[in-house]
């Protein structure tokens, strides 16, 4: 099946540890995005990438890092510098600015 | 943009009735708009989109209306079903921009 695959679905970490969330796609999307969602709130953009080996900061990039070494993969690292890392993280991709985002089913990260 | 807090607006409708979910968007230069449905613990799912050169578009049981004069978007769901219960988000794409901007969301509850 084609789609955006995020893993794992649930992730638990101790405070002070870096953690990497996986996002893989087989839809041949050029652009990929990471969003953060907090309970009862909308989606806030962390990072996005329009092409391999290039990415831009979104609205809340502090404490996060990404890489885009290949088209199919866009992993997100939540670093220890992120003050409130517990959240639901969503990865998405799309072909161009005139097409909708396709989302994965998210990773729920809990940091204690 | 900033989130609006933990209290999402809620629309409660009786099964079989029509639902209308409203969204005020922020950028008069936005030229592409999307509605998403998000069920608990899942990623947002594309419902329908509309471009700024249109004021109405219909899908299966759904209709999107765009009023550019007052920067208002609405989603109409005909014969609402229990499976329609979810959080609904509107999103706008500013002309020439690479990022979708999401609204805070509306909870739709369908009573049987």
User: Given a cut of 80, is residue B83 above it in pLDDT?
Assistant: yes
The set of residues, in sequence order, having a beta carbon less than 8 Å from that of B42 and lying 6+ positions away, is A105, A106
**Chain A contacts of B97, Cβ < 8 Å?**
97
The set of residues, in sequence order, having a beta carbon less than 8 Å from that of A63 and lying 6+ positions away, is A78, A79, A81, A82, A83, A85
Q: Which residues, numbered 15 to 74 in chain B, qualify as contacts with chain A under a Cβ-Cβ cut-off of 8 Å?
A: 32, 34, 36, 41-46, 49, 51
Are the Cβ atoms of B4 and A42 closer than 8 angstroms? Answer: yes
pLDDT, tens digit (0-9, with 9 covering 90-100), for A46-92: 999 999 999 999 999 999 999 999 999 999 999 999 999 999 999 99
Average pLDDT for B2-30:
85
User: Given a cut of 90, is residue A18 above it in pLDDT?
Assistant: yes
Distance from CA of A88 to the nearest CA of B (A): 9
User: Given a cut of 50, is residue B23 above it in pLDDT?
Assistant: yes
> Which of A48, A103, A108 is nearest residue B99 as measured by Cβ atoms?
A48
Are the Cβ atoms of B43 and A31 closer than 8 angstroms? Answer: no
Q: Is the bond preceding A45 in cis, omega lying within 30 degrees of 0? A: no
User: Given a cut of 80, is residue A98 above it in pLDDT?
Assistant: yes
**How far apart (Å, rounded) are the C-alpha atoms in residues A59 and A37?**
13
**How far apart (Å, rounded) are the C-alpha atoms in residues A87 and B48?**
27
């Amino acid at each position: 099946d084609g789609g955006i695959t995020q893993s794992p679905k649930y992730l638990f970490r101790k405070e002070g540890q870096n953690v990497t969330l996986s996002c893989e796609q087989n839809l041949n999307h050029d652009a990929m995005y990471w969003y953060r969602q907090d309970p009862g709130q909308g989606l806030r953009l962390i990072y996005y990438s329009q092409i391999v080996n290039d990415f831009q900061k979104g609205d809340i990039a502090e404490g996060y890092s990404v890489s885009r070494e290949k088209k199919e993969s866009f992993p997100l690292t939540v670093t220890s510098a992120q003050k409130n890392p517990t959240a639901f993280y969503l990865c998405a991709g799309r072909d161009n600015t005139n097409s909708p985002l396709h989302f994965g089913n998210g990773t729920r990260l809990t940091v204690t | 943009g900033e989130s609006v807090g933990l209290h999402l607006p809620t629309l409660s409708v009786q099964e079989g009735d029509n639902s209308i979910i409203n969204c005020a968007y922020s950028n008069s230069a936005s030229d592409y708009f999307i509605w998403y449905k998000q069920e608990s613990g899942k990623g947002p799912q594309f419902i329908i989109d509309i471009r700024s050169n249109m004021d109405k578009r219909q899908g299966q049981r759904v209709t999107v209306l765009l009023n550019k004069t007052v920067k208002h978007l609405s989603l109409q769901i005909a014969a609402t079903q229990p499976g329609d219960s979810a959080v609904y988000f509107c999103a706008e794409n500013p002309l020439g921009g690479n990022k979708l901007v999401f609204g805070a969301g509306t909870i739709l509850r369908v009573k049987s």
